[in-house]
């Protein structure tokens, strides 16, 4: 492997799906024109629309009446929630086919964790919190698409205790945080999203340490066995005490399980 940019350029078979995501993420403001625009994007993709409506009508959201159109969903859920649903549904095939069930589960948990933690700490700019968590490990997908055999080697090294970034650097001469950042730039995601992806394993190197620490913590909490994390850092950047964090983790897992059940049904 030569350099990360070449690795990204080599990957031609990233599905058309990112188009929807890029467009959905581009509509940031929760205003009239954004709502109309999102409705229009969805009108071009009937398969995606029907999956989104299925999710919106599931027990997870618990609406009494049936929601039959994206514009109705937008009116009831708001722009930010609808955007999250679109991203989740649109990304599922890519995450599951190249990252397996584990990656899908971890990404969704981390998305919910980011959203919940952002709410708990009253993060000023929290609209993209779900997406930050959902896409934080997207670089792993690239490494896996590029060379699944080598990525299995990385998995083995991690299993035997080597740090993931170290393992990837050794095998690929780059790592999923760096590659995810390059992909985020290629997809024209926001600066904050790209930054969080790049620094989710090293938040203090970020120019946005608060949000980077948020994703760092959410990631640690989103494994079956929670990772050990820097409690001092979390307290300093987010003002969260360890006993609170652990009770939030229970809430996160419960919410995630309910969402998995919905997304896996049918």
Q: How far is the CB of 30 from Fe ion (least distance, A)?
A: 28
* Identity of the residue, 38 or 259, whose beta carbon is nearer to Fe ion in the bound complex: 259
The answer to whether 70 touches 82, Cβ cutoff 8 Å, is yes
Give how many residues touch Fe ion by CB under 5 A.
2
The answer to whether 95 touches 142, Cβ cutoff 8 Å, is no
Q: How many residues does the chain have?
A: 266
Q: How far is the CB of 81 from Fe ion (least distance, A)?
A: 23
Q: Where would I find the beta strands (DSSP E) of 149-191? A: none
167-171 long-range contacts, CB within 8 A, separation 24+:
168/143
**CA–CA distance, 142 with 195 (Å, rounded to integer):** 18
Q: How far is the CB of 103 from Fe ion (least distance, A)?
A: 9
Per-residue contact track with Fe ion, 180 to 219, x per CB under 5 A? Answer: ---------------------------------------x
79, 131, 232 from 35: Cα distances, Å? 7, 18, 41
* Identity of the residue, 25 or 141, whose beta carbon is nearer to Fe ion in the bound complex: 141
How many CB atoms lie under 10 A from the CB of residue 196? Answer: 33
Q: What is the distance, to the nearest Å, from the Cα of residue 256 to the centroid of all Cα atoms in its chain?
A: 13
**Span from 64-72, 133-141, 230-238, 252-260 in contact with Fe ion (CB under 5 A):** 133-141
* Identity of the residue, 115 or 137, whose beta carbon is nearer to Fe ion in the bound complex: 137
Interaction with Fe ion in 232-261: which residues (CB under 5 A)? none
Q: What are phi and psi of 221, to 5 degrees?
A: -80, -10
* Identity of the residue, 173 or 223, whose beta carbon is nearer to Fe ion in the bound complex: 223
Interaction with Fe ion in 37-56: which residues (CB under 5 A)? none
Q: How far is the CB of 184 from Fe ion (least distance, A)?
A: 13
**Span from 47-55, 62-70, 122-130, 134-142 in contact with Fe ion (CB under 5 A):** 134-142
Judged by CB under 5 A, the residue of 137, 179, 181, 192 near Fe ion is 137
Q: How far is the CB of 219 from Fe ion (least distance, A)?
A: 4
Q: How far is the CB of 168 from Fe ion (least distance, A)?
A: 10
List CB contacts of 143: < 8 A, sequence separation 6 or more.
150, 151, 154, 168, 172, 176, 179
Residues that bind Fe ion (CB under 5 A): 137, 219
């Amino acid at each position: 492997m030569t350099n990360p940019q070449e690795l990204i350029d080599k990957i031609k078979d990233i599905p058309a799906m990112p188009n929807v995501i890029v467009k959905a993420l581009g509509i940031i403001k929760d205003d009239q024109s954004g709502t109309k625009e999102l409705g229009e994007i969805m009108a071009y993709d009937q398969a995606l629309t029907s999956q989104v409506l299925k999710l919106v009508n599931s027990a997870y959201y618990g609406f009494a009446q049936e929601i039959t159109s994206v514009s109705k969903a937008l009116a009831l859920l708001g722009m930010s929630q609808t955007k999250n649903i679109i991203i989740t549904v649109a990304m599922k095939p890519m995450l599951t086919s190249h990252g397996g069930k584990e990656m899908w589960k971890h990404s969704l948990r981390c998305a919910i964790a980011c959203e919940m933690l952002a709410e708990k700490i009253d993060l000023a700019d929290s609209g993209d919190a779900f997406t930050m968590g959902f896409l934080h490990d997207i670089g792993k997908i690239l490494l896996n698409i590029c060379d699944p055999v080598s990525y299995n080697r990385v998995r083995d090294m991690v299993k035997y205790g080597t740090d993931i970034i170290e393992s990837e650097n050794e095998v690929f001469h780059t790592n999923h945080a760096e590659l995810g950042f390059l992909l985020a730039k290629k997809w024209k995601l926001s600066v904050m999203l790209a930054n969080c992806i790049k620094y989710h394993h090293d938040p203090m190197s970020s120019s946005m340490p608060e949000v980077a620490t948020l994703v760092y913590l959410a990631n640690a909490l989103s494994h079956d066995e929670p990772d050990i994390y820097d409690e001092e850092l979390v307290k300093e950047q987010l003002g969260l005490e360890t006993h609170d964090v652990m009770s939030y983790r229970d809430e996160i897992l419960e919410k995630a399980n309910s969402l998995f059940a919905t997304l896996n049904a049918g």
